[in-house]
């Protein structure tokens, strides 16, 4: 009877640990799915926000930059800022995964 009790206890412990891990994975997935990361150009004239898939979800332009910069300069700064936001998104996802692993 003790063997059965021990086995049952072991299985309950394993299942409890599985539930904890599964809950952590669900939380990780939610965090990533709702993630938004912003980056600003060096001079602050452009601010871009991307979502977890790297899609641009918001773009703010300083009106003065729009008036003073030629279109190619403005386009270059926008692209660089979006790329920086996307790189920041990758770093945040890496950090979330590392933290999740450390908690597991």
Please determine, for residue 104, whether its predicted confidence score (pLDDT) is greater than 70.
no
The CATH code of the domain at 2-103 is 3.30.1310.10
DSSP state letter for 48: E
Tokens of 85: 């936001």
Residue 20 reports pLDDT greater than 70: yes
Within 1-104, residue ranges assigned H as helices are 2-33, 63-68, 71-103
Has this prediction a pTM greater than 0.75? no
Reported as a pLDDT band with limits 50, 70 and 90, residue 33 is confident
Q: What is the pLDDT of residue 23?
A: 75
The domain limits of the chain are: 2-103
- HSE, side-chain direction, 13 A CA sphere, residue 51: 8
**At residue 34, what are phi and psi to the nearest 5 degrees?**
-100, 5
Largest separation between any pair of C-alpha atoms in the chain? 84
For residue 18, the Cα-to-chain-centroid distance in whole angstroms is 24
Mean pLDDT on 52-57: 92
Tokens of 94: 């890496």
Report the percentage of the chain scoring pLDDT > 70. Answer: 98
* Per-residue tokens: 73: 């300069």
pLDDT at 80: 96
């Amino acid at each position: 009877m003790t063997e059965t009790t021990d086995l049952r206890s072991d299985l309950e412990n394993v299942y409890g640990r599985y539930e904890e891990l599964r809950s952590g994975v669900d939380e990780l997935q939610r965090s990533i799915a709702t993630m938004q990361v912003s980056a600003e150009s060096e001079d602050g004239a452009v601010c871009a926000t991307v979502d977890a898939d790297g899609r641009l979800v918001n773009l703010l332009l300083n009106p003065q930059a729009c008036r003073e910069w030629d279109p190619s300069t403005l386009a270059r700064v926008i692209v660089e800022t979006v790329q920086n936001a996307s790189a920041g998104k990758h770093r945040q996802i890496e950090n979330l995964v590392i933290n999740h692993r450390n908690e597991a």
